[in-house]
Amino acid sequence: MQETLINIKDLKKSQELYQKACELIPGGVNSPVRSFKSVELEPIFISKAKGQYIWDVDQNKYLDFVNSWGALIHGHLANEVTESIQNALAKGISYGASHENEIELAQLVVNSFPSIEKVRLVNSGTEAVMTAIRLARAYTNRNKIIKFSGCYHGHADVVLSMSGSGVSTLGLPGSAGVTKNTASETITLPYNNIANLEILLSKYPKEIAAIIVEPVVGNCGVIPPSENFLQSLRDLSTKYKCLLIFDEVITGFRLSKGGAQLKYKIKSDLTTLGKIIGGGMPIGAVGGKKEIMNLLAPLGTVYQAGTLSGNPLSVACGIATLKLLNEETYTYLESTTNYLCDEMKKISLDTGVKIQINKAGSMFSIFFADSFVYDYESAKKSNTQKFIRFFQNMLSQGIYWAPSQFESNFVSTALKKEDLEYTLKAFKKSILEI
Ligand SMILES: *Cc1c(COP(=O)(O)O)cnc(C)c1O
């Protein structure tokens, strides 16, 4: 990428479109973090994308570290993915009926995840989580859910309290419109803290239906699990007979082919997937042990349905994306991310600008914090003003970083060595100017 200096506060076409959008769409956006509110800018309107790049409507080019929030593990428009969608498109957009590729995608998921015996496709991560919780409640005949602050599990009522990026970026404790009764069914605890969980479980030994967790948090910046955290969750869930739900909407197929559960060798009872399994098309999935999954209608009494579920285009896009993943993919992604993070660390030491770099596999984030970030509270100690200046500086140099202190960046296989060098140069300049 050529050196560039974009006047990000004066993107004429984006501004024009944003004004029009605001008249018709609440806040001008269809998902809050896109508004760029937390980085004190107006949203950029994207006109096209290819490989590691996206372009805005004012014809500026950016290196993409968002990659549709991690869904695009191969970057934009990998040939195999495009072809697969085109082949599917030639055969119809949607049938609202069964088709063969649904079996192939289900097989790819079941083969990859040791804990998944059966899987149901839905249309989003939110739906996957809703269904996982409904299943857990039906299976255990209990009501309460435990979640961890900073983890985001989609926007269903039951998981909206203390839920990371989108919500915390906007400074909301939860959401209006969620009834007190619903909110009272969910207990939120600090991540990476087993002592609190043990106390709670001993207080409610027979009321907890499920513990839901992002095995590596991606939604308040990256926060990896401390040693034994996931194993303790497994042990305590078994002891208290509640289900352990791993929300692997981000980590599934990103940290390894079998997600965080394969990487950390812990089996959950239910797993939710999304993002990468659709390769950028709308999708979600819930999977787990047969015994639990068989409770879903039409076999069982837990209702779940979807007009567009398993739709041929999402499924084709997902299959092609997953088939491109192999050992080398993960080696490349990890060594690329390690190199980038190690070099950023060196730069921060050289320049004396204090930052915390957290990473897991090919997801990483930089906190403008003085001490180690291991949960939501420690993440919140970050200096968001510094982040805003850093973000704006990176953006003006053509680096499209996640537009919030509390989001993860994602490395794609489309990123090249020279892109990393370019990024590091921009990084050095940016942190010196915060
Ligand atoms: C993105 C995300 C969701 C929600 O998925 P949508 O497809 O946006 O509904 C749920 N859980 C996690 C961990 C996510 O990152």
Count the domains in the chain.
Answer: 2
**Residue 423 and residue 63 in contact, taking contact as beta carbons nearer than 8 Å:** yes
Residues 218 and 319 in one domain: yes
Residues 403 and 388 in one domain: yes
The boundaries of the domain holding residue 347 are: 12-64+326-432
Tell me what percent of the residues of the chain surpass a pLDDT of 70.
97
| Residue at 86: amino acid letter | Q
**Residue 245 and residue 268 in contact, taking contact as beta carbons nearer than 8 Å:** yes
Q: Which atom of ligand 1 is nearest to the CA of 247?
A: 13
The CATH number assigned to the domain holding 278 equals 3.40.640.10
Residues 17 and 153 in one domain: no
Residues 313 and 350 in one domain: no
Residues 86 and 43 in one domain: no
Residues 314 and 385 in one domain: no
Alpha-carbon dihedral of residues 101, 106, 112, 113, nearest 10 degrees? Answer: 170
Pocket test for ligand 1, best of 31, 72, 73, 126 (most atoms within 8 A of CB): 126
Query: What tens digit of pLDDT does each residue of 68-97 get?
Result: 999 999 999 999 999 999 999 999 999 999
The CATH number assigned to the domain holding 365 equals 3.90.1150.10
Residues 318 and 330 in one domain: no
**CB-ligand 1 contact for 340 (6 Å cutoff):** no
Residues 389 and 307 in one domain: no
Q: Which atom of ligand 1 is nearest to the CA of 129?
A: 10
Domain-embedded: residue 284 = yes
How far is the centre of ligand 1, averaged over its atoms, from the C-alpha of 418 (Å)?
31
- Please list, in sequence order, all residues whose beta carbon lies within 8 angstroms of the beta carbon of residue 165, skipping any fewer than 6 positions away: 33, 152, 219, 220, 404, 406, 407
**CB-ligand 1 contact for 219 (6 Å cutoff):** yes
pLDDT value at residue 1: 85
Q: How far apart are CA 42 and CA 57, in angstroms?
A: 13
Residues 358 and 271 in one domain: no
Q: How far apart are CA 353 and CA 430, in angstroms?
A: 11
Burial, 114: exposed, middle or buried (Cβ in 10 Å; 0-12, 13-18, 19+)? middle
pLDDT value at residue 17: 98
- Please list, in sequence order, all residues whose beta carbon lies within 8 angstroms of the beta carbon of residue 427, skipping any fewer than 6 positions away: 344, 347, 394
Active site residues: 152, 247, 275
Nearest CA to ligand 1 atom 14: 249
Domain boundary among 262, 296, 323: 323
Residues 273 and 332 in one domain: no
**Residue 273 and residue 257 in contact, taking contact as beta carbons nearer than 8 Å:** no
Domain boundary among 323, 352, 368: 323
Model-level pTM? Answer: 0.97
Domain-embedded: residue 71 = no
Task: Supply the Cα-derived Rg of the chain in whole angstroms.
Answer: 21
Residues 335 and 399 in one domain: yes
Domain boundary among 284, 303, 323: 323
**CB-ligand 1 contact for 403 (6 Å cutoff):** no
Pocket test for ligand 1, best of 121, 123, 153, 167 (most atoms within 8 A of CB): 153
**Residue 413 and residue 333 in contact, taking contact as beta carbons nearer than 8 Å:** yes
Tell me what percent of the residues of the chain surpass a pLDDT of 90.
94
Q: Which atom of ligand 1 is nearest to the CA of 125?
A: 5
Residues 170 and 290 in one domain: yes
Digitized pLDDT (tens) for each residue of the chain, 434 residues in all: 889 999 999 999 999 999 999 999 999 999 999 999 999 999 999 999 999 999 999 999 999 999 999 999 999 999 999 999 999 999 999 999 999 999 999 999 999 999 999 999 999 999 999 999 999 999 999 999 999 999 999 999 999 876 666 655 555 557 889 888 888 899 999 999 999 999 999 999 999 999 999 999 999 999 999 999 999 999 999 999 999 999 999 999 999 999 999 999 999 999 999 999 999 999 999 999 999 999 999 999 999 999 999 999 999 999 999 999 999 999 999 999 999 999 999 999 999 999 999 999 999 999 999 999 999 999 999 999 999 999 999 999 999 999 999 999 999 999 999 999 999 999 999 999 99
